[in-house]
Chain A
Amino acid sequence: MIEIAPLAVSAADIKFGTAPVEGTILGKAVRLSPSQPLVRYSLRAKDIAVLAEALGRKLPEKIGTSLDGIARLGPDEWHALLPAGTGLPLVEGKPLAVIDVSARSVGIVVEGPGAAALIERGCPLDLAQFALGRATRTVFETVEMHLWALAPERYHVDVWRSFAPWLWNSLAEAIV
Chain B
Amino acid sequence: MTGYRIPFGGRIDRSRPLTFTFDGQSYEGYAGDTLASALVAAGVTVFGRSFKYHRPRGLVATGVEEPNALISLDRGADRVTPNLRAPQISLYEGLVAKSQNRWPSLKHDVAVLNDVFGAFFPAGFYNKTFMWPRSAWEKLYEPVIRNLAGLGESPVARDPDHYDATYAHCEVLVVGGGIAGMEAALEAAAKGGRVFLIDEQDELGGGALADTTLWATVDDLRARLAAADNVTVLTRTTAFGYYHQNFIGASERLTDHVAPFAAKGAREKLWRIRAGEVVLAQGAIERPLVFNGNDVPGVMLSNAARTLALRYGVAVGRRVVVMAAHDSGWRDALALHALGIDIAAIIDMRTVVPGDLADEVRAAGIPIYPGHAVTAVSGRLAVKGVTFAAYGTGKPHKLACDAVLMAGGWTPSVHLWSHAKGSLEWSDAWGAYLPAKAIENCRVVGACAGAWDLGKGEISSALPNAMSVRKQKAFVDFQNDVKARDIHLAVQEGFRSIEHIKRYTTNGMATDQGKTSNLNALQIASNVLGKPVTDIGLTTFRPPYTPQTFGSLMGHHKDALFQPLRKTVIDDWAVAQGAVFENVSQWRRARYFPKAGEGMDAAVGRECQAVRSSVGIFDASTLGKIEVVGPDAAEFLNRMYTNPWKSLQPGRCRYGLLLREDGFIMDDGVSARIAEDRFHLTTTTGGAPRVLSMMEDYLQTEWADLDVWLTSTTEHWAVIALQGPRARDVIAPLVEGIDLSPKAFPHMAVREGTIAGVPTRLFRVSFTGELGFEINVPASEGQKVWDAIFASGKQYGITPYGTEAMHVLRAEKGYIIVGQDTDGTMTPYDMGLDWAVGKKKADFVGKRSLARPDIVAKGRKQFVGLLTEDPYEVLEEGAQIVVHPDEPVPMTMIGHVTSSYRSTTLGRSIALAVLVDGHARMGETVHIPMPEGVIRAKVTGPVFYDSEGSRLND
Q: Which A residues lie at the B interface, using CB under 8 A?
A: 1-4, 6-14, 42, 44, 46, 76-77, 92-105, 117, 120-124, 126, 128-129, 141-143, 160-163, 165-167, 169-170, 173-174, 176
Contacts and interface: CB of A to CB of B under 8 A. Distances in A.
A9 B560 contact: yes
A24 B622 CA distance: 37
Contacts of A103: 715-717, 778-781
B141 interface: no
Given A126-B274, A162-B715, A142 B564 contact: yes
Contacts of A77: 709
Given A46-B707, A99-B627, A122-B167, A173 B561 contact: yes
B713 A7 contact: no
A11 B627 CA distance: 30
Interface in B135-175: 162, 164-169
B107 interface: no
A166 B561 contact: yes
B560 A11 contact: yes
A161 to B, nearest CB: 5
A128 B194 contact: yes
A102 B778 contact: yes
A104 B561 contact: no
B167 A121 contact: yes
A169 B165 contact: no
Contacts of B567: 12, 162, 165
B121 to A, nearest CB: 42
A9 to B, nearest CB: 5
18 contacts: A1-B807, A6-B583, A7-B563, A7-B583, A11-B559, A46-B707, A94-B631, A96-B709, A97-B630, A126-B274, A128-B169, A129-B169, A141-B557, A162-B567, A165-B564, A165-B565, A169-B561, A176-B265
A102 B716 contact: yes
B630 A166 contact: no
Contacts of A170: 556, 561
Given A2-B877, A8-B561, 15 more contacts: A4-B582, A7-B563, A11-B559, A12-B565, A12-B567, A14-B561, A76-B709, A93-B677, A95-B631, A98-B629, A99-B709, A102-B778, A104-B779, A128-B194, A174-B164
Given A1-B807, A44-B629, A143-B564, A173 B556 contact: yes
B778 A10 contact: no
Given A7-B588, A122-B556, A160 B715 contact: yes
Contacts of B778: 102-103
Contact of A8 (B559, B715, B779): B559
Report, as a range, how many residues of chain B touch the other chain.
Answer: 35 or more
Which among A4, A44, A102, A103 has the greatest number of chain B C-beta atoms within 10 A?
A103
B587 A1 contact: no
B675 interface: yes
B804 A1 contact: yes
> Lowest 6 CB-CB distances: which A-B pairs, in order?
A8-B562, A97-B629, A162-B566, A44-B709, A103-B778, A166-B564
Nearest to B804: A1
A17 B556 CA distance: 18
Interface string B625-665: 00101110000000000000000000000000000000000
Contacts of A123: 167
B676 interface: yes
A81 B274 CA distance: 31
A171 B2 CA distance: 53
A170 B564 CA distance: 10
Contact of A14 (B560, B676, B717): B560
Interface in B370-401: none
Contacts of B676: 92-93
Q: Which of A1, A3, A120, A160 gathers most chain B CB within 10 Å?
A: A1
Nearest to B777: A103
B100 interface: no
A142 B707 contact: no
B811 to A, nearest CB: 11
A8 B561 CA distance: 8
Nearest to A2: B877
B561 A126 contact: no
Contacts of A92: 675-678
B201 interface: no
A162 B167 contact: no
Contacts of B629: 44, 97-99
Contacts of A1: 582, 804, 807, 877
Interface string B876-891: 0100000000000000
B558 A163 contact: no
Given A10-B559, A102-B778, A142-B564, A117 B166 contact: yes
